[in-house]
Structure 1
Amino acid sequence: MTDTTRIAVLVGSLRADSLNRKLAELLRDEAPAGVELDIVEGLGELPFYNEDLDAASAPAAAVALRERVSGADRVLAVTPEYNGTMPAVLNNAIDWLSRPYGAGALVGKPFGVVGATPTPYGGKWAHADTVRSAGIAGAVVVEEVTVSQSAIEVDPTTDADVRAKLVAAVTTLAEFAPAVSAA
């Protein structure tokens, strides 16, 4: 048994120099003691979800994604906002993780979302769509983790207050204990 909490990180931007990728890397590098952030690569290699592709044997990229998330204790999406919603690459990853229905890799996993955008609202619509989709897929959404940071007047990668808020969100996700239901 390990004392390390593993958090799979889904980055909603494919751009190598993405602000949100930089935030994910920063969070990985500044993770609290006992917390390991695993940035899941290869989301751009996933074909659009299609049940026909998922029938007999799923594509290798989907299998790898499911294995990485299944092996994690928690899931964190770090994402920008595209046209008022979550990026297609993140939506597609959640679609793959939601299957098989009721038993997908997200089922029962504590889930949070953070990110920054150069808009006044910091991506709050994308983040709301992400938590809704993940919740429908079976994740246990940890609302107090959500951080939607505007990057208009501040650089989230260097501002001490923003960095502290993001690290606190990771800590909250790592320490989250789902309520045990009485059967």
Structure 2
Amino acid sequence: MTSDKQTRVAVLLGSTRTGSLNRRIAEHLRDHAPAGVTVDVVEGLDTIPFYTEELDGESVPAGASSLRQAVASADRVLAVTPEYNGTMPAVLNNAIDWLSRPYGQGAIVGKPFAAIGATPTPYGGKWSHEHARHSATIAGAVVVDGIVVDESAVAGDPLADEAAVQRLLGALDDLVAHEAEAAA
């Protein structure tokens, strides 16, 4: 990047388990982000009530408000998520629901978005990532084509595999590059 502007990436973490592989991936991306890029893992997705219009009025729950602020202040959004029963975890789906409102004006609208991660299956979470990208598109995000990192943890820890780490870091780079192209 040739600009002095710091690019902010909000990470929506699909796993709420302490020490989960996907949390470790998100933290690795945060700790190894390229110069000029700040990666912020949005915490507390598991404390946000399920979306309903009754809660989304004058007094939005604090967790939902914090989520919206974190994504609104970011330049792009990256979901780092495992796969639960062939789809994305409920906390990630709920976060996208909250970010999609108010309709057409939600915090995710117009934000470049990608979904990556790992799961202990041979498929590496491909359905979860596909469903997250689909849901984010409907919510108004700009899903970046070509960013696909579905790491299988069947053979071991992807963070112990240099090629897998490079694919994960490359996804972050591609998301950053997309924004630069869109702004040009």
Q: Same fold (TM over 0.5)?
A: yes
Gapped regions of structure 2 (runs ≥ 5): none
Runs of 4+ residues deviating >6 angstroms: none
Alignment counterpart, residue 14 of structure 1, candidates 13, 16, 33: 16
Q: CA RMSD in A?
A: 1.3
Residue-by-residue CA offset, 1:130-154 (whole Å, 9 max, x unaligned): 0000000000001222211111113
User: 2:131 matched to which residue of 1?
Assistant: 129
Shift of 1:157: 1.3
Shift of 1:179: 5.0
Question: Is 1:112–2:97 an aligned residue pair?
Answer: no
Identity among equivalent pairs (%): 61
Matched residues in 1 for 2:30 and 2:158: separation?
15
Question: Is 1:26–2:28 an aligned residue pair?
Answer: yes
Gapped regions of structure 1 (runs ≥ 5): none
Matched residues in 2 for 1:43 and 1:83: separation?
19
Matched residues in 1 for 2:72 and 2:157: separation?
33
Shift of 1:32: 1.0
User: 2:153 matched to which residue of 1?
Assistant: 151
Alignment counterpart, residue 63 of structure 1, candidates 56, 62, 65: 65
1:70-81 matched pairs, under 5 angstroms: 70-81=72-83
Matched residues in 2 for 1:5 and 1:172: separation?
13
AA at the equivalent of 1:8: A
AA at the equivalent of 1:78: V
